[in-house]
Amino acid sequence: MKKIINDPSNILDEMVSGLVRSYPQYLKRLEDTFVVARNDSNKTKKVGIVSGGGSGHEPLHAGFVGQGMLDAAVCGQVFTSPTPNEVLAAIKESDQGQGVLLIVKNYAGDVMNFDIAKDLADLEDIRVEQIIVDDDISVEDSTYTQGKRGVAGTILVEKIIGAAAQNGASLDELVALGNEVIAKTNTIGLALEPATVPEVGKPGFEIADDEIEYGVGIHGEPGYKRQKLVPSKELVEELVAKLDKSFNGLENKKFAVLINGLGGTPLMEQYIFANDVLNKLEEKNVQAAFTKVGTFVTSIEMAGISLTLLELTNDEWLDNLNADAQTIGWGDTSVK
């Protein structure tokens, strides 16, 4: 195992410290926690938006804290859910009297601990609601989950919800919006090489140099098929076919397209893949009204890629995706 670290048991503390010290214009760390919260001067009174989960998926979630997206993110240990008390600290920091919405990926530990924190907040008279992101169509009822996993589509949900909250939407309105967006968001990915959790010291799974695995999860959970490596165009054929089925057909529809590197995939390869995806969508007369390519939801250093499609059945969703945001991971879009 080769990693640029010190003590494997101290990775989370040092990572969070380095993150907030590098970007103090965006972020601060709540004392004695692994909670990262907004530190900018542009706050307005609105519903608080909180997300989080195990670390190792950076820039998710802390990289999306800032104006137009999240108010706080809770960082758990690597691939481990954050504790309810940490989530509660994020809730209290984000509450401005309008209530708080939790955006939770569908993993058993995350769902349980965020739900406990919600109950704890209720005891302190803070109204909290939550939505569960389950966009991965690869497999169901796999490691860590009951039902579908929450993966890269999470950031599209965070962006749309964050913009709506910034525009003054109520907590009830945000819950309804989030559930509508989640229902129209599907993701599928593949892995070329596994990731290594530092405290484990060995890869999470084994795969031959000339193989790929379709549908692998962001914690290294197994996918649905393993085969020999093929060119990008053939990878796209497989993934788009699965997405086509999940949407009951893609033809003549309008989508947001997110292409996400899983940590060890160069941008060169991501753009080649993106070119093939857009060509395939054009063949199906799909309008790609919004596209974003980059490394947003990772699995440490896993080599692989995921493709997310969000059917844009409401024009306001597109407006929200294009709205100003000032975060590390999404990028500062405030300057036109």
Q: What is the mean pLDDT of the chain?
A: 95
Looking at 129, 154, 183, which one is the last position of a domain? 183
Query: Are 110 and 255 in a shared domain?
Result: no
Q: Is the pLDDT of residue 21 over 80?
A: yes
Verify that 190 and 162 share a domain, yes or no.
Answer: no
User: Is the pLDDT score of 26 beyond 90?
Assistant: yes
- CA within 13 Å, CB half, 117: 30
Extract the tokens encoding 185.
């968001």
**pLDDT for position 101:** 98
Confidence of residue 217 (pLDDT cuts 50, 70, 90): very high
**CA torsion, ordered 165, 185, 57, 35, to nearest 10 deg:** 20
Q: What is the mean pLDDT of residues 294-315?
A: 97
How far is the C-alpha of 145 from the C-alpha of 141, rounded, in Å? 5
Catalytic annotation, residues: 57, 219
Q: Output the six-digit token pair for 220.
A: 């290294």
Distance CA 263, CA 56 (A): 9
pTM: 0.96
CB 197 within 8 Å of CB 299: no
Q: Is residue 6 part of a domain?
A: no
For 7-20, the pLDDT digits (tens) are: 999 999 999 999 99
Residues 158 and 113 in one domain: yes
Return the sign of the alpha-carbon dihedral for residues 69, 173, 184, 144.
Answer: positive
pLDDT of residue 147: 86
- pLDDT at residue 334 is higher than 60: no
Domain assignment present for residue 233? The answer is: yes
The verdict on residue 3 lying in a domain is no
Q: Report if residue 18 sits inside a domain.
A: yes
Would the pLDDT of 326 be above 90? yes
pLDDT for res 199 = 87
Report if residue 199 sits inside a domain: yes
What CA–CA distance (Å, rounded) separates 257 from 292? 6
Q: Which CATH number goes with the domain that contains 115?
A: 3.40.50.10440
Distance CA 143, CA 146 (A): 8
User: Of 183, 200, 222, which one is at a domain's C-terminal end?
Assistant: 183
Domain presence at residue 7:
no
- Dump pLDDT digits (tens) for 105-143: 999 999 999 999 999 999 999 999 999 999 999 987 666
Q: Given this model, what pLDDT does residue 335 score? A: 43
Q: What is the pLDDT of residues 134-192, one digit of tens each?
A: 999 998 766 666 789 999 999 999 999 999 999 999 999 999 999 999 999 999 999 99
Same domain, 148 and 197: no
- Do 165 and 211 lie in a common domain? no
> Residue 178 belongs to what domain range?
14-183
Model confidence at 315, pLDDT cuts 50, 70, 90, reads very high
